C-alpha cells in the first residue's frame, strides 16, 4: 500500500489501484439504492427541492436515514452502516448525480455535521448523538467560518469561558454561512477557550442564547439552509468538548478532509448528469439542417467533458480504496474505528485535496460547456444546465477554497520531506540523472498505452524535479511563493489524474473484455497529450522563477525534451470519443 503522496516518487502498477470495474455486488446494491432514492424522492420533486422548505428537508433526511444513506461513516454499534469508503464515495457520487440542493444538505450532515463526533467523540457522545444522526432524526451542522475568519479559520473570535462552577463553557460569537442551521439540531462549534485554545464543542441548537440570522439569498443551492448563528452567553456543558481543549484544529482538519474527498465525488456525479443532459440535447437540436452534435466544435466539447469525467471517476475510487486500506492497516488495529479513519484521512490529505480541486474544477468545466451546448435555453431558469451551473459554483469556495487546497498539496509534501516522511531529496537525485538522459517519446501505438506510460513517468519525474528545486531555493519561505506552490500542486494533480486514468485503462486491457478499453485508451491518449503541453508550461514557469543562467537553460531544455509528445491525431480521437458518448446518450464506460 502506497503512503500518501508517494505516487509521485514510486512506480505504481495497475494491480495496486481499485477501479470502478471492480465494484462488488454490495457496491452496486448501494449505488442502486441511492439512485432509486434520488429518482423517486428528489428528481421527481424538481423545483420543490430548490426552494427552502425545512419540513421537506427533514422529511427527506428521515427517508434517507431509513435507507441507511446517512450512516455510511457511522460505526454499526451506534446504529450506522459502517460501509467501506468505496460505498461512501458511491453514495456521494449518486447523490451528486441528481440530488440538486438536497445533495448539499446531505453532504454537510454526513460529513462535517457528523464526523466530529463519529471520529473523535467519547463513547458517551457517540451513544447520545450518533443513532439520531444516522437515522436523520438529528440534523448536524458545522460552525467554523466567522465574518472575519473564513480561510483563516484559526483567527476565530468566538470565545468560550469556563463558568465559575466549572460545569459549563459560556460561548459568545457569530458563525457565518452555516449550512443546515435553519433546521439543524446540533452544531459542532469551534471557539477559543480563554481566547486562545481552539476547541470543538457539541452545541444543541435549542440551547438558550442561540439565535439565527435570516437565510442567505444565495446564487445557487437555494434549497439548502444557510444562515449565521449567533451565540450570546450560551452555556455548553464541559462534557460537550470533543477531543479536549485546544484540539479543534485536528477535528476541523480531518472532518474537512473527508468532506473534500466527498465533494470531489459529488461534483463528478453532478457533472455526469449535466453531461448526459447536454449530450441528449445535442442530438435533438437541429441547426443548419443537422443535429448540433454533428458539428466538430460540439464533438470536441463532448469528448473533453467525457475525458474529465473518466479521469475524475478513476481518481475517486482509487482514493477511496487507499483510505479504506489504511483504515484497516495492521499498524492501526489497536485504535477504534474513529481514530483509524482520522489517521487514514491524515495520511491521504494530499489525495483528498487533489480530489476537491479536480472534482470541483472538472464539474465547473462540464456544467459550463453544458450551458454552451444548450445555447440560449441553457441560460434560462428551469433548464437543467442552468441549475447545474448555479449549484456547482460554491464547491470551489467551501471545504477549504481551491486556493487553500493548492497550498495544502505542495506544503504538505515539502513539510513531510523536511520531516523525512517523503523522500523528496533522494528522489530528486534519482530523477535528475534520468531526466538528463531521457529521450523524447516519438512513437505512439494506437492500441496500447506504452507511449503514454512513458510520458507519465516523465511527468512524475518533472514534478519531483521542480518541487525539489523550489524547495531548496526557498526552504521554509516557499509558502510565500504561492504562484510557484500553486503551480507545482497543479502538476501533482495532473500526474494523479493521468496515472489513475492510465492504470485503470491498462487494467481494463488486461481484463476479461479488453474491447471495453477501446474508448478509455483513446481518452488517455488525448488526456496525456494535452496534460504534457500544460506540464511543459507549468514546469517552465516555476523553473524561471527559481533559477537563472546556464542552469536554467539546461533545465528548460530538459523540460522541452521530456514533455514533447508523439504526433497523435487528437481531432480524430476526440471524434471517436464523442461518437461513443453520443451513441450512448450519457456518461458510461
Ligand atoms: C453556501 C455556503 C455554505 C457554507 N457552509 C458552511 C458551513 O456549513 N460551515 C462553515 O463553517 N462554513 C461554511 N461556509 C463558509 C465557507 O467555508 C467559506 O466561505 C470559505 O472557507 C471561504 O471563506 P470566506 O468566504 O471568508 O473567504 P476568504 O477566506 O475571505 O477568501 C476570499 C478569497 O481569498 C482567497 N484566500 C484566502 N486566504 C488565502 C490564502 N492564504 N492564500 C491564497 N488565497 C487566499 C480564497 O481562496 C478566496 O478566493 C459556506 C459557504 C457558502 C458559500
Active-site choice (97, 146, 399, 481): 399
Task: Let me know if 408 is exposed, middle or buried by CB neighbors in 10 A (0-12, 13-18, 19+).
Answer: buried
**How far, in Å, is the centroid of ligand 1 from the Cα of 588?**
34
Assigned fold of 403-584: Butyryl-CoA Dehydrogenase, subunit A; domain 3 (1.20.140)
- pLDDT of residue 6 exceeding 90, the answer is yes
- Per residue in 338-351, pLDDT (tens digit) is 889 999 999 999 99
- Per residue in 487-535, pLDDT (tens digit) is 999 999 999 999 999 999 999 999 999 999 999 999 999 999 999 999 9
Which is the closest atom of ligand 1 to the Cα of 153? 21
- The residue-averaged pLDDT of 61-68 equals 97
pLDDT at 254: 87
The four Cα atoms 91, 94, 99, 104 give a dihedral, to 10 degrees, of: 40
Assigned fold of 20-139: Butyryl-Coa Dehydrogenase, subunit A; domain 1 (1.10.540)
Q: How does residue 255 score in pLDDT terms, banded at 50, 70 and 90? A: confident
Backbone angles phi, psi at 93, to 5 degrees: -65, -45
Which is the closest atom of ligand 1 to the Cα of 190? 11
Long-range contacts of 376-381 (CB under 8 A, 24+ apart): none
Ligand 1 test: best mutation among 153, 251, 397, most atoms within 8 Å of CB? 397
- Per residue in 380-416, pLDDT (tens digit) is 999 999 999 999 999 999 999 999 999 999 999 999 9
CATH number for the region 141-242 comes to 2.40.110.10
Ligand 1 test: best mutation among 263, 266, 398, most atoms within 8 Å of CB? 398
Residue 189 grid cell? 462549534
- pLDDT of residue 332 exceeding 90, the answer is no
CATH topology match: 20-139 vs 403-584:
no
Ligand 1 test: best mutation among 115, 145, 156, 482, most atoms within 8 Å of CB? 145
Assigned fold of 248-396: Butyryl-CoA Dehydrogenase, subunit A; domain 3 (1.20.140)
Which is the closest atom of ligand 1 to the Cα of 141? 8
Structural element, H or E, at residue 350: helix 349-374
pLDDT at 338: 85
Whether residue 91 contacts residue 30, with contact meaning beta carbons closer than 8 Å, is answered with yes
568: CB partners within 8 A, 6+ apart: 444, 525, 526, 529
What is the pLDDT of the chain when averaged over all its residues?
A: 96
Residue with cell 495544502: 408
The protein residue whose alpha carbon is closest to atom 6 in ligand 1 is 178
Whether residue 475 contacts residue 548, with contact meaning beta carbons closer than 8 Å, is answered with no
pLDDT at 51: 95
74: CB partners within 8 A, 6+ apart: 80, 81, 82, 114, 118, 130, 133, 134
Q: How does residue 2 score in pLDDT terms, banded at 50, 70 and 90? A: very high
Q: How does residue 333 score in pLDDT terms, banded at 50, 70 and 90? A: confident
- pLDDT of residue 229 exceeding 90, the answer is yes
Helices 482-509 and 450-474: crossing angle in degrees, nearest 10, is 160
**From the centroid of its chain, how far is CA 496?**
13
The protein residue whose alpha carbon is closest to atom 4 in ligand 1 is 177
What residues pair up with 287 in beta bridges, in sequence order?
Answer: 290
Which residues, judged by CB distance below 6 Å to any ligand atom, belong to the binding site of ligand 1?
Answer: 108, 141-145, 150-151, 177-179, 218, 221, 226, 394, 397-398, 401, 403-404, 482
In the residue annotation, 457 being an active-site residue is answered as no
Which is the closest atom of ligand 1 to the Cα of 394? 53
- The residue-averaged pLDDT of 126-151 equals 98
- Write the CA distances from 8 to 170, 323, 423, integer angstroms: 47, 17, 10
pLDDT at 256: 87
Q: What angle do CA 94, 95, 101 make, to 5 degrees?
A: 150
Q: What angle do CA 557, 550, 529 make, to 5 degrees?
A: 15
What's the CA gap between 114 and 262, in Å, rounded? 13
**How far, in Å, is the centroid of ligand 1 from the Cα of 143?**
13
- pLDDT of residue 291 exceeding 90, the answer is yes
Whether residue 186 contacts residue 240, with contact meaning beta carbons closer than 8 Å, is answered with no
The protein residue whose alpha carbon is closest to atom 24 in ligand 1 is 150
Ligand 1 test: best mutation among 115, 392, 401, most atoms within 8 Å of CB? 401
- Per residue in 481-494, pLDDT (tens digit) is 999 999 999 999 99
What is the three-class DSSP state of 196?
coil
Ramachandran sector of residue 142 (left: φ over 0; alpha: ψ -120 to 50; beta: rest): beta
The per-residue b/e assignment along 451-463, b for 16 or more CB within 10 angstroms, e otherwise, is: bbbbbbbbbbbbb
**How far, in Å, is the centroid of ligand 1 from the Cα of 181?**
17
- The residue-averaged pLDDT of 202-215 equals 98
Whether residue 166 contacts residue 238, with contact meaning beta carbons closer than 8 Å, is answered with yes
Q: How does residue 4 score in pLDDT terms, banded at 50, 70 and 90? A: very high
Spans of all domains in the chain: 20-139, 141-242, 248-396, 403-584
- Per residue in 530-582, pLDDT (tens digit) is 999 999 999 999 999 999 999 999 999 999 999 999 999 999 999 999 999 99
Structural element, H or E, at residue 212: strand 210-212
Percent of the chain exceeding pLDDT 70 equals: 100
The protein residue whose alpha carbon is closest to atom 44 in ligand 1 is 403
- pLDDT of residue 279 exceeding 90, the answer is yes
Find, among 360, 411, 126, the residue nearest to 243 by Cα. Answer: 126
The better pLDDT of the pair 336, 420 is held by 420
- Per residue in 167-203, pLDDT (tens digit) is 999 999 999 999 999 999 999 999 999 999 999 999 9
**How far, in Å, is the centroid of ligand 1 from the Cα of 30?**
33
- pLDDT of residue 336 exceeding 90, the answer is no
pLDDT at 511: 94
The protein residue whose alpha carbon is closest to atom 41 in ligand 1 is 404
What's the CA gap between 271 and 470, in Å, rounded? 35
Amino acid at each position: 500500500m502506497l503512503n500518501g503522496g508517494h505516487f509521485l516518487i514510486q512506480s505504481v502498477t495497475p494491480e495496486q489501484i481499485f477501479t470502478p470495474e471492480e465494484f462488488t455486488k454490495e457496491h452496486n446494491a448501494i449505488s442502486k439504492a441511492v439512485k432509486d432514492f434520488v429518482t423517486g424522492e428528489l428528481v421527481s420533486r424538481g423545483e420543490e427541492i430548490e426552494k427552502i422548505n425545512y419540513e421537506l428537508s427533514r422529511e427527506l433526511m428521515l427517508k434517507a436515514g431509513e435507507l441507511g444513506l446517512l450512516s455510511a461513516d457511522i460505526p454499526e454499534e451506534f446504529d450506522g452502516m459502517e460501509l467501506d469508503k468505496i460505498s461512501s464515495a458511491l453514495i456521494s457520487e449518486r447523490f451528486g448525480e441528481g440530488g440538486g440542493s438536497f445533495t448539499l444538505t446531505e453532504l454537510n450532515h454526513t460529513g462535517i455535521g457528523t464526523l466530529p463526533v463519529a471520529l473523535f467523540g467519547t463513547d458517551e457522545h457517540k451513544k447520545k448523538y450518533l443513532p439520531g444522526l444516522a437515522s436523520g432524526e438529528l440534523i448536524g451542522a458545522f460552525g467554523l467560518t466567522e465574518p472575519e475568519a473564513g480561510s483563516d479559520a484559526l483567527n476565530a473570535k468566538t470565545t468560550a469561558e469556563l463558568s465559575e462552577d466549572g460545569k459549563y463553557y459560556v460561548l459568545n460569537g457569530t458563525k457565518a454561512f452555516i449550512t443546515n442551521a435553519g433546521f439543524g439540531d446540533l452544531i459542532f462549534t469551534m471557539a477559543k477557550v480563554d481566547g486562545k485554545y481552539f476547541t470543538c464543542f457539541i452545541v444543541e441548537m435549542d440551547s438558550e442564547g442561540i439565535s439565527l440570522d435570516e437565510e442567505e439569498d444565495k446564487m445557487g443551492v437555494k434549497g439548502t439552509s444557510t444562515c449565521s448563528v449567533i451565540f450570546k452567553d450560551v452555556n455548553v456543558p464541559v462534557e460537550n468538548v470533543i477531543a479536549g481543549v485546544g484540539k479543534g484544529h485536528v477535528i476541523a482538519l480531518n472532518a474537512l478532509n473527508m468532506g473534500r474527498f466527498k465533494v470531489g465525488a459529488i461534483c463528478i456525479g453532478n457533472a455526469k448528469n449535466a453531461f448526459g443532459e447536454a449530450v441528449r440535447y445535442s442530438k435533438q437540436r437541429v441547426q443548419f439542417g443537422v443535429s448540433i452534435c454533428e458539428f466538430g466544435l460540439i464533438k470536441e466539447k463532448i469528448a473533453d467533458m467525457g475525458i474529465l469525467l473518466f479521469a475524475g471517476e478513476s481518481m475517486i475510487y482509487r482514493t477511496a480504496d487507499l483510505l479504506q486500506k489504511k483504515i484497516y492497516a495492521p499498524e492501526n488495529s489497536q485504535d477504534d474505528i474513529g481514530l483509524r479513519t482520522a489517521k487514514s484521512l491524515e495520511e491521504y490529505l494530499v489525495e483528498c485535496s487533489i480530489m476537491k480541486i479536480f472534482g470541483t474544477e472538472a464539474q465547473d468545466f462540464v456544467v459550463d460547456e453544458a450551458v454552451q451546448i444548450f445555447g440560449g435555453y441553457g441560460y434560462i431558469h428551469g433548464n437543467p444546465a442552468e441549475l447545474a451551473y448555479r449549484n456547482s459554483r460554491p464547491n470551489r469556495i467551501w471545504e477549504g477554497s481551491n486556493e487553500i487546497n493548492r497550498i495544502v498539496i505542495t506544503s504538505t509534501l515539502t513539510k513531510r520531506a523536511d520531516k523525512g516522511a517523503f523522500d523528496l531529496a533522494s528522489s530528486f537525485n534519482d530523477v535528475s540523472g534520468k531526466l538528463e538522459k531521457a529521450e523524447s517519446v516519438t512513437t505512439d501505438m494506437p492500441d496500447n498505452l506504452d507511449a503514454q506510460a512513458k510520458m507519465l513517468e516523465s511527468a512524475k519525474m518533472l514534478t519531483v524535479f521542480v518541487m525539489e528545486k523550489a524547495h531548496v531555493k526557498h526552504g521554509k519561505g516557499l509558502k510565500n511563493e504561492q504562484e510557484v506552490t500553486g503551480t507545482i500542486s497543479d502538476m501533482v494533480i495532473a500526474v494523479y489524474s493521468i496515472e489513475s486514468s492510465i492504470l485503470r485503462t491498462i487494467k481494463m486491457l488486461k481484463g476479461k473484455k479488453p474491447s471495453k478499453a477501446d474508448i478509455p485508451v483513446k481518452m488517455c491518449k488525448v488526456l496525456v497529450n494535452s496534460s504534457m503541453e500544460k506540464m511543459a508550461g507549468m514546469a517552465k514557469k516555476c523553473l524561471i522563477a527559481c533559477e537563472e543562467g546556464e542552469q536554467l537553460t539546461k533545465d528548460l531544455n530538459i523540460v522541452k525534451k521530456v514533455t514533447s509528445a508523439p504526433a497523435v491525431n487528437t481531432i480524430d480521437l476526440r471524434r471517436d470519443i464523442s461518437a461513443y458518448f453520443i451513441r450512448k446518450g450519457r456518461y458510461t464506460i
